[in-house]
């Protein structure tokens, strides 16, 4: 299925892949001049919080109008819950009534079509059915890349989504794996990062980041962490700065939902342990396990991003049976003022997260 070119809105096509290390500012070798000079690109407006990890996000009983105002002023991100039904995906910021006061954004319905050389994903506005982005994953003997087509007719201004008809350009690059000097040990699944000049005219990378720690069981053994995460980022001028960040600044992050009962039990335990250090158990209000759709809702989730501000968000949990994961998009007025950029960030982060999900499924089936 293709997106037909409309008469009043522009569709921009590009190829998402990775340049050689000397061309990618995120993976530029140390000791040489970066491709992009400081000041050419506005810095990302987020920093990793200092001090101890923030504690659990609580259920808070508040007046609805007061809570809505607080969310609009304090939640610096949108968090999409990625639900999978058959071969289709559904992205929403408000999957249940308890998420009603999390920061909201227009939802997406995603058609996923498998092909002989990859897959295609078409992102539609859930309310209008309008096709916004088409992603094609192409894999053959000569190439391994993503192609994207963007309908550039809306942008974000003052936190609100508005229609726009500006023009922009996109360029193509080729795929390049993460340089081996960043990998202290061979990962079980290839860690790839794709790069392209996006429709805002700047070079971005989307893919894995090699975060690791020493094994708690075997000393001197390296264990990769968050290896299934996908980051939409533009953060380093040279690779020597990698050790400065526990979590590099990113525009968006895809986290996969671990639906296994053991992992869900561990997350629940971690949540209560974190809460115990900060609050009396009397202050922790938990909702009933099963809530009637007709019951009055008085307790709401406060959104947690799962990366920077809250490592174990309470609002992650519902509907794990159909949940593929979460896409957190951090607000940046400069980047998202460009028409089509918000939709492209969501679509590419989701598509490459979906690819990573397939890669891990394949590696697990081969090892079993």
277-309 pLDDT, tens digit per residue, is 444 333 334 444 445 555 566 678 888 888 887
Q: What's the CA gap between 11 and 133, in Å, rounded?
A: 9
337-348 pLDDT, tens digit per residue, is 998 999 999 999
160-218 pLDDT, tens digit per residue, is 888 765 554 454 555 566 766 667 777 777 778 888 888 888 888 898 887 777 777 77
Q: What is the pLDDT of residue 113?
A: 92
Strand, helix or coil at 73?
helix
Rounded to 10 degrees, what is the CA torsion of 161, 309, 51, 332? -20
309: CB partners within 8 A, 6+ apart: 49, 54
Q: Which residues of the chain have pLDDT under 50?
A: 2-9, 11, 18-69, 72, 168-169, 171, 276-290
Q: What's the CA gap between 58 and 279, in Å, rounded?
A: 10
């Amino acid at each position: 299925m293709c997106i037909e070119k409309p008469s009043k809105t522009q569709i921009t096509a590009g190829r998402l892949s990775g340049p050689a290390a000397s061309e990618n500012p995120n993976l530029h070798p140390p000791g040489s001049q970066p491709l992009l000079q400081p000041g050419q690109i506005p810095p990302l407006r987020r920093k990793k919080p200092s001090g101890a990890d923030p504690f659990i996000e609580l259920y808070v009983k508040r007046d609805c109008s007061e809570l809505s105002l607080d969310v609009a002023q304090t939640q610096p991100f949108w968090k999409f819950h990625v639900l999978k039904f058959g071969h289709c995906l559904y992205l929403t910021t408000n999957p249940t009534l308890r998420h009603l006061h999390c920061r909201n954004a227009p939802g997406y319905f995603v058609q996923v079509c498998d092909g002989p050389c990859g897959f295609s994903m078409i992102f539609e506005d859930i309310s209008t059915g309008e096709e916004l982005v088409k992603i094609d994953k192409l894999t053959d003997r000569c190439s391994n890349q993503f192609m994207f087509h963007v309908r550039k007719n809306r942008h974000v201004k003052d936190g609100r989504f508005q229609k726009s008809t500006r023009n922009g350009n996109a360029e193509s690059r080729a795929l390049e794996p993460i340089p081996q000097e960043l990998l202290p040990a061979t990962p079980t699944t290839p860690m790839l990062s794709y790069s392209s000049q996006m429709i805002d005219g700047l070079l971005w990378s989307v893919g894995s980041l090699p975060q690791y720690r020493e094994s708690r069981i075997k000393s001197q053994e390296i264990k990769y962490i968050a290896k299934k995460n996908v980051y939409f980022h533009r953060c380093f001028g040279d690779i020597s700065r990698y050790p400065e960040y526990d979590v590099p600044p990113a525009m968006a992050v895809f986290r996969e939902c671990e639906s296994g009962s053991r992992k869900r039990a561990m997350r629940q335990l971690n949540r209560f342990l974190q809460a115990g250090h900060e609050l009396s158990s009397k202050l922790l209000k938990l909702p009933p396990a099963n809530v009637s759709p007709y019951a009055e809702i008085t307790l709401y989730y406060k959104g947690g991003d799962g990366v920077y501000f809250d490592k174990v968000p309470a609002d992650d949990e519902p509907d794990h049976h159909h949940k593929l994961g979460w896409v957190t998009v951090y607000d940046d007025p400069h980047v998202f003022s460009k028409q089509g950029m918000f939709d492209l960030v969501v679509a590419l982060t989701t598509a490459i997260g979906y690819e990573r999900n397939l890669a891990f499924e394949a590696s697990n089936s081969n090892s079993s």
